[in-house]
Amino acid sequence: MADTWPKHDMQFLAGRRLRRARRTVWSRAMVRETVLTPSDLIWPLFVIEGHNERTQIRTMPGVERLSVDLCVDAAKAARDAGIPALALFPNTPDHLRNENATEAYNPDNLMCRALSAIKSAVPEVGLIADVALDEYSSDGQDGLVRDGEILNDETVAVMVRSALVQARAGADIIAPSDMMDGRVAAIRAALDGDGFDATQIMSYAAKYASYYYGPFREAVGSGSRLVGDKRTYQMDYGNSDEALREVEQDIAEGADSVMVKPGLPYLDIVRRVKDNFNVPVYAYQVSGEFAMIEMAAAAGAIDRKGAILESLIAFKRAGANGVLTYFALEVARELGR
């Protein structure tokens, strides 16, 4: 084929050797378009009761649930590695869960004690508090359930109370992850009315009803008790335009930043949100994504370190301002070297 090209075309192509810039490490670094730094990472932590307690999560190799004192130690490690923020998720004891999720707004609940202890010991690390009822309910749903129906407005009222006790305990960012309609506006009004006008809201604005959440549900203790599914309020994974409507609504209601969840299977959504809205966009590399990398690496199918870095760069390349990832501490330390 090349023998038939006109001579002047051959000369032009000979001058455009795109591989030149890829020949050496230093040259590839010079032309790299997307860069990952520790400040791009948010580290999710699972909190349990006790002192100096840690428990393994069967489906998340290397990830542990930590008691509050060990969460403080983890926050110090995050600070030292350059990670700007932690996202906290409590595993509420069974005897404190009920159908009304009343433990969600107990000012002395596990989440609030963790927020207070970490903020007191490591004030320079930002704290993101998850707001949903699955961590407190006896049925594993993110909302209140009556006669098999997930109640929207009644759920929002409980979430508002939960957000307020979290803000008082030291949360810097309230992160509603339930997908109820109107919860961002209600939480924003309540925070402002209680003197927390500086507290941010990071909305799980495009959260899909995904099969990738299984290990997370085990980690917070909601999976085995889940009755039904979450498809009446979390998004259908066949939809893309709907995600933009959800994001637009949450921004209008007062969200300071928005999140797409899960992550890698939804990079198209990250890109569309970034292109359409002038707000910070975050992605969550969820538990199922984490487990796939770990288990594939353990089986010898992929290079673990390479796959982790490639996956995180993909989020940044798609337009994410940051990534919630269970690999955060390991990667931040590696980048620091």
261 is catalytic: yes
Is the pLDDT at 317 greater than 60? The verdict is yes
Which secondary structure element, helix H or strand E, spans residue 41, and what is its range? strand 41-48
Average pLDDT over residues 52-59: 96
Q: Which among 106, 102, 114, 94 is positioned nearest to 44, based on CA atoms? A: 114
Higher pLDDT, 227 or 190: 190
For 152-155, which contacts have Cβ atoms below 8 Å and span 24 or more sequence positions?
A: 152/180, 152/181, 152/182, 152/233, 153/182, 155/180, 155/183
Cβ-contact 284, 261 below 8 angstroms:
yes
pLDDT of res. 225:
74
CB atoms within 10 A of CB 154: 14
Q: Report how far apart, in Å, the C-alpha atoms of 314 and of each of 12, 36, 77, 318 are.
A: 33, 10, 25, 6
- Which pLDDT does position 184 carry in this prediction? 98
- 3-class secondary structure, 302: coil
Q: Taking 70 as the threshold, does the pLDDT of residue 12 lie above it?
A: no
Helix H or strand E encompassing 88 = strand 85-90
Say which range, 15-19, 105-109, 175-179, has the weakest mean pLDDT: 15-19
pLDDT band at 226 (very low <50, low <70, confident <90, very high): confident
- Count of CA atoms in the C-beta half-sphere (13 A) of 285: 30
| Average pLDDT for 139-145 | 93
Averaged pLDDT score across all residues of the chain:
95
| 182 neighbors 156 (Cβ within 8 angstroms) | yes
pLDDT higher than 90, residue 6: no
Q: How confident is the model at residue 243, as a pLDDT?
A: 98
User: Could you tell me the CATH superfamily of domain 40-336?
Assistant: Aldolase class I (3.20.20.70)
Distance CA 108, CA 94 (A): 16
Per-residue pLDDT at 11: 59
DSSP-derived pairing of the beta strands 281-284 and 257-261: parallel
Over the stretch 185-221, which tens digit does the pLDDT of each residue have?
999 999 999 999 999 999 999 999 999 999 999 999 8
Task: Estimate the crossing angle of helix 110-121 against helix 152-169, to 10 degrees.
Answer: 30
**How confident is the model over 71-113, as pLDDT tens digits?**
999 999 999 999 999 999 999 999 999 999 999 999 999 999 9
- Cα distance between residue 50 and residue 333, in whole Å: 28
Mean pLDDT in residue range 223-251: 92
Is the pLDDT assigned to residue 50 strictly greater than 80? yes
Taking CA atoms, 149 is separated from 96, 97, 144, 171, 210, in Å, by: 22, 19, 8, 31, 20
> Residue 4: its pLDDT value, please?
62
pLDDT of residue 294: 98
Q: What is the pLDDT of residue 14?
A: 59
Determine the pLDDT at residue 3: 56
CA dist 3 and 19 (Å) reads 22
pTM of the predicted model as reported, rounded to 2 decimal places? 0.94
Tell me which DSSP letter residue 142 carries: S
Instruction: Report which residue type is found at 122.
Output: V
- Answer yes or no: are the C-beta atoms of 188 and 201 closer than 8 Å: yes
Helix ranges, the chain (H): 7-14, 25-31, 68-81, 110-121, 152-169, 183-193, 214-220, 241-253, 267-276, 287-298, 304-318, 328-336
333 φ/ψ angles, rounded to the nearest 5 degrees: -65, -40
Contact residues for 292 (Cβ-Cβ < 8 A; gap 6+): none
Active-site annotation holder among 119, 230, 261, 274: 261
pLDDT of residue 227: 77
Beta bridge partners of residue 130, listed in sequence order: 175
The Cα 208–Cα 238 span in angstroms is 9
